[in-house]
Chain A
């Protein structure tokens, strides 16, 4: 069955579609502000003219390419191209500063391909049980997932936890602007109708990450990138990079599993997966203090986990018709228009189409390697060779266009520039942008989970106790306690170890 479908895909038109789709996706992903969801929406009318399989293949390839393309901007200009590569910038940019840009791009490429393939593997083998698991997440569980995510702040805030928490709180506060997700009240709009739309997460992401970086480059008067030295160029060959990626199997497997679990939770995708995978890589590392200075493990963790989510979010989509992430909503729309209803029928009556679509995402993952390595070198050269006085205005203009394109809104551009300037001031006080964005992403999820749980418990005497009823909630609460206590636990363990070592040494003497 699978083999038959595989031969269907060897059609040159399909292979060409995959390559074009991945390249287009890569470009969209690398531009801050252009998102995978938008790319898919623009593509939608074209897919009506194509046979269903070709249309779905094109959408899958663009999606895969876009999530991966975000890493380019993250590595080269410290700007996550999409929210899925926030953590990529933490390690990729320091590497680029040390003259290891090509190596970082190579690592990101191979990790992304591995992640993409792992996602396809999970989708083919484990769909039914994973889909059942995804249904267990109700409002109470979403609340706890968001709280668990907020505990990441401790490790994302480089140094001062208090400053990180301040950033997180600010992010949550910014996230409350606009129409309340539940209740429909307008909040913090200051009487301006345009503020009903609130601050979109991507607008904040672009503002807080890109603009401070541009100010810094302009202030320094030179590009932060360093020329790639001969040594690093040798290490960036496909063979060397692949060897490097596979030399950390534990990290790869862990990151892929994290990506898959987060992907099947409807509403959470690569934007959360990359941060969690990064955090876990740091926690498992022998030298967590080196993270943030260009550590390969961190880069591999984020880029593999975010590409797992592409096929991973298709699990609830194909089995239950539930979009696991925003771009999937567009794919669902296309499927429904072609008369394909998600569910068991997809895997029986339309099996060729469904398996063809799934396998083509694997193709797309593989296609990322040649497309990415060539494209990566090209983009690196352009960015490196362009003098900073051309580079800064060009990126600034692209950023403004990207922000405007997001919702066709001038207000978004103004908010982006304001937040960016604020972000630059914060940077001087060592308040990192990541906790702010994390607060913005998770604040509304936590709010919705909490309010929906309490509303749903209206018939009980103490509605808020509904938060503590489900077994899955208990597991999540346990993880939160562990995650919050970890920094203290790890120092305690280290101290105990040292003491016992000292004791041993003492005895030996």
Chain B
């Protein structure tokens, strides 16, 4: 209990230090809270952990990464839009297409797509269609041909419903004129044994899965504009005649109303840090992006259009 007491003491001390309101001239002069709306161990968390020490060096203050998982990110995002102070000391990780799809399809997501001041989108993990090494499907054409002949028989696993993976599978269905059976899983983790054990025929997952499991899996196509540096042999959907580009963009946002000077300073710091984390992340299958300022906002609009068709299909079906 002695330890517990010390723990509480430290917590109280931390609370006192965190009390905002004492605004001083130069930003930043107090610790920054960087909320990750997902569980520890996921891509968002690991990216934030890589950024944390470099950001601290760049900004000269402590950066505290905290987790607030739940509802596919919606719990943290809704609370952030309701309560976070626009002073630059409250940041949150953001993902496309989550922040586009959830407010549109859920009755009570509790937040708005445009309710964030996006500081930067720092990377992109394109979707990829992946099969097991011993699968009869050698190319995307093999897979599509099979799906055409056997409606609903091709099972495709992905992470979540109305998620990046799911929406991509729907777009592929539409573009190729086939009927697939999409099976949602909770996160990317459970997809791996499901494909290895033959419980699924293919995955619509992220490029990291293609890279990390290249001994066991074969990637038929990747949904990026250009080939992904970590896997130069894998063709893009575009090359194969399907206009499908999509995946998850990860970035960081501040509350609306945060002073522009502070946003610019943070964007600058995140840009520098992103160049450092790129050294590790590019080999893992990430595609680094450097969308700040207006470009960041444009990207949101662009993706709204890209997913517009499938999203409105789903919406009309739900009603």
Contacts and interface: CB of A to CB of B under 8 A. Distances in A.
Interface of A: 27, 31, 37-38, 40-41, 44-45, 48, 134-139, 178-184, 186, 189, 191-194, 196-198, 200, 266-267, 316, 320-323, 326, 329-330, 332-333, 336-337, 339, 341-345, 379, 382-383, 386, 394, 397-398, 401, 407-409, 448, 452, 455-456, 458-459
A382 B150 contact: no
B212 interface: yes
A128 to B, nearest CB: 14
Contacts of B79: 193-194
Interface stretch (B18-26, B46-54, B232-240): B46-54
Interface in B127-171: 150-153, 155, 160-163
A459 B153 contact: yes
A396 B45 CA distance: 30
Given A38-B40, A193-B111, A266 B53 contact: no
Given A179-B71, A194-B75, A184 B160 contact: yes
Contacts of A197: 69-71, 74-75
B11 interface: yes
Interface stretch (B114-122, B184-192, B245-253, B288-296): B184-192
Interface residues of B, number: 69
A47 B182 CA distance: 38
Given A181-B186, A192-B108, A398 B4 contact: yes
B110 A193 contact: yes
15 contacts: A38-B40, A48-B53, A135-B196, A179-B71, A183-B161, A186-B108, A189-B108, A266-B189, A321-B192, A329-B189, A333-B46, A343-B216, A452-B184, A458-B152, A459-B151
Interface of B: 1-5, 7-8, 11, 35, 39-42, 45-46, 49-50, 52-53, 66-72, 74-75, 78-79, 105-111, 150-153, 155, 160-163, 181-186, 189-190, 192-194, 196-200, 212-213, 215-216, 280, 283-284
A178 B35 contact: no
Contacts of A194: 75, 78-79, 110
Contacts, number: 189
Contacts of B52: 45
A200 B185 CA distance: 18
Could you tell me the dominant secondary structure of chain A's interface residues? helix
The 8 closest A-B pairs by CB, nearest first: A197-B70, A193-B110, A196-B71, A41-B40, A184-B161, A329-B41, A138-B199, A135-B197
A133 to B, nearest CB: 10
A383 B155 CA distance: 55
Given A196-B70, A452-B183, A137 B193 contact: yes
A183 B192 CA distance: 20
A179 B107 CA distance: 12
Contact of B186 (A320, A323, A448): A448
B235 to A, nearest CB: 23
Nearest to A385: B1
Contacts of A266: 189-190, 193
A329 B67 CA distance: 15
A386 B5 CA distance: 13
A455 B181 contact: yes
Contacts of A326: 39, 41
A267 B186 CA distance: 11
B35 A401 contact: no
B193 A135 contact: yes
B45 A41 contact: yes
Nearest to A404: B11
B108 A196 contact: yes
A179 B150 CA distance: 32
Nearest to B51: A45
Contacts of B152: 458-459
A274 B213 CA distance: 32
A148 B270 CA distance: 49
A184 B162 contact: yes
B2 A196 contact: no
A320 B192 contact: yes
Contacts of B45: 41, 333
A316 B216 CA distance: 14
B79 to A, nearest CB: 7
A336 B183 CA distance: 27
A186 B72 CA distance: 11
Given A197-B70, A407-B67, A409-B75, A337 B50 contact: yes
Contacts of A267: 190
A168 B226 CA distance: 52
Given A48-B53, A135-B196, A322-B193, A333 B41 contact: yes
A407 B181 contact: no
Nearest to A41: B40
Contacts of A320: 192-193, 196, 216
A422 B75 CA distance: 25
A191 B68 contact: no
B27 to A, nearest CB: 23
B193 A134 contact: yes
B213 A193 contact: no
Contact of A193 (B5, B46, B78, B196): B78
Contacts of A330: 40-41
A337 B53 CA distance: 15
Contacts of A196: 70-72, 74-75, 78, 106, 108-110
A333 B5 CA distance: 33
A379 B1 contact: yes
Contacts of B105: 184
B69 A136 contact: no
B213 A337 contact: no
A198 B70 contact: yes
A182 B163 CA distance: 11
Contacts of A452: 183-185
B70 A45 contact: no
A321 B212 contact: yes
Given A134-B193, A330-B40, A344-B215, A45 B1 contact: no
Contact of A136 (B183, B197, B200): B197
Given A178-B71, A194-B75, A409-B68, A458 B181 contact: yes
Contact of A37 (B41, B161, B182, B198): B41
A179 B52 CA distance: 30
A196 B37 CA distance: 13
Contacts of A323: 41, 189
B111 to A, nearest CB: 7
Given A182-B161, A337-B50, A407-B69, A383 B189 contact: no
A31 B4 contact: yes
A6 B199 CA distance: 39
Contacts of B181: 455-456, 458-459
A394 B4 contact: yes
Contacts of B71: 178-179, 186, 193, 196-198
A343 B215 contact: yes
A85 B18 CA distance: 35
